[in-house]
Amino acid sequence: MAGRKSDFTLTKLDDLFTTQAQREEEKLSKIRDIPLGLIDDFPDHPFKVRDDEDMLQLIESIRDRGVITPATVRQKEDGRYELISGHRRKRACELAGFQTLRCEVVDMSRDEATILMVESNFQRSKILPSEKAFAYKMRLDAMKRQAGRPRKENSDPVGPNLIGTRSNSLLAEETGESTSQIKRFIRLTYLVPELLEFVDQDRIKMRPAVELSYLDEDCQRDIVDEIDMNDATPSHDQTIRMRKFFEEGKLTTEVIQAIMSEEKPNQKEKITLSMDRVEKFIPKNIKISQREDFICKALEHYNKYLRQRADRDSR
């Protein structure tokens, strides 16, 4: 009996390890080097891929060690692949002259892929407001569609209002943002590209931007023209008044011009530097985040030189 029990135990252990080995082999079979020409970017991918200093570092890393963490793709019906995560790695491979990208092929629906795409990109150190805006909108829409599908044991779908409430709360828990802040970000998706870029540049703050998002495209473009002409962005109070005029059907080009021409109490004259003009004086080893400090120190040094020269001339 003892021998039979021992044999039975060994058999069970063998089955366990065999199953684990099969799982590992199955996982490895899904990781492969896929030609870059067969990989399509995720539709309406909200995160920008920048050819900046971080990209240069990623290119060097990939040249030295290859792609350590595989990108994630799903196969499409036409046999091509859709990139879920790894857009920066794909771009780095292209710039490094590679022909393939190491990928893990996963079996996912479009909504599942959207949620994973947003989650993986939120690990970035810096995310622009516009990127958050479209990412939150895409993910929330996907979550609502998933929540609205009835389960097999329940043929009745959840009501649309309840779906929206649950999805908003769940997204707030997962991201650490309040539901009201998430709604503000999503409102940014209604801005024309020029105004959205001003938000990314921190020239327009969140609350004024949200007010402007309720205006139609023509009014928004009139505001863009006034910003370009006066080199001044509207205050929160000005955007509140413009939205009120718009809702009353009274926001004309003349009204926008009148409101935008008002001098704001905190309005200060700004100096705009053209990067094309100053970039040639900045050493390439200076990081983008350190360039402002470099320019200020250069100006401080030049100012000191001018004072010394003035002292010599006065003697």
Write out pLDDT tens, residues 12-35: 445 555 555 555 555 555 899 999
Average pLDDT on 174-189 reads 87
pLDDT band at 50 (very low <50, low <70, confident <90, very high): confident
Say if 147 falls within a structural domain: no
Burial 172-190 (b: 16+ CB within 10 A, else e): beebebeeeebebbbbbeb
| Euclidean distance between CA atoms 285 and 298, whole angstroms | 16
> Which CATH number goes with the domain that contains 64?
3.90.1530.30
Residue 117 to residues 135, 138, 173, 239, 250: CA-CA distances in angstroms? Answer: 9, 10, 18, 34, 42
pTM above 0.85, yes or no: no
More confident of the two residues 276 and 74: 74
Which residues span the domain enclosing 77? 30-108
Q: How many domains does the chain have?
A: 1
What pLDDT shows up at residue 8?
46
User: What is the model's pLDDT at position 219?
Assistant: 96
Residue 128 lies inside a defined structural domain of this protein: no
pLDDT average, residue stretch 144-172: 57
What pLDDT band is residue 310 in, cutting at 50, 70 and 90? confident
Residues β-bridged to residue 6: none
Quick one: pLDDT band at residue 238, thresholds 50, 70, 90? Answer: very high
Average of per-residue pLDDT across 285-311: 78
- Determine what percent of the chain is predicted with pLDDT higher than 70: 79
61 part of a folded domain = yes
What's residue 147's pLDDT?
A: 62
253-260 vs 236-247: helix crossing angle, rounded to 10: 160
Name the more confident of 57 and 29. Answer: 57
Give the pLDDT score at 274: 65
Q: Look at residue 68 and tell me if it is in a domain.
A: yes
Mean pLDDT of all residues in 235-248 = 96
As given in the structure block, the two tokens for residue 142 are: 């996907």
* Residue 185 belongs to some domain of the structure: no
Q: What per-residue confidence (pLDDT) applies to 121?
A: 79
In contact, 182 and 206? CB cutoff 8 Å: no
64 located within any domain: yes
pLDDT above 90 for 99: yes
- At residue 72, what are phi and psi to the nearest 5 degrees? -115, 125
Q: Is residue 234 part of a domain?
A: no
Residue 2 lies in a domain: no
> Mean pLDDT in the chain?
81
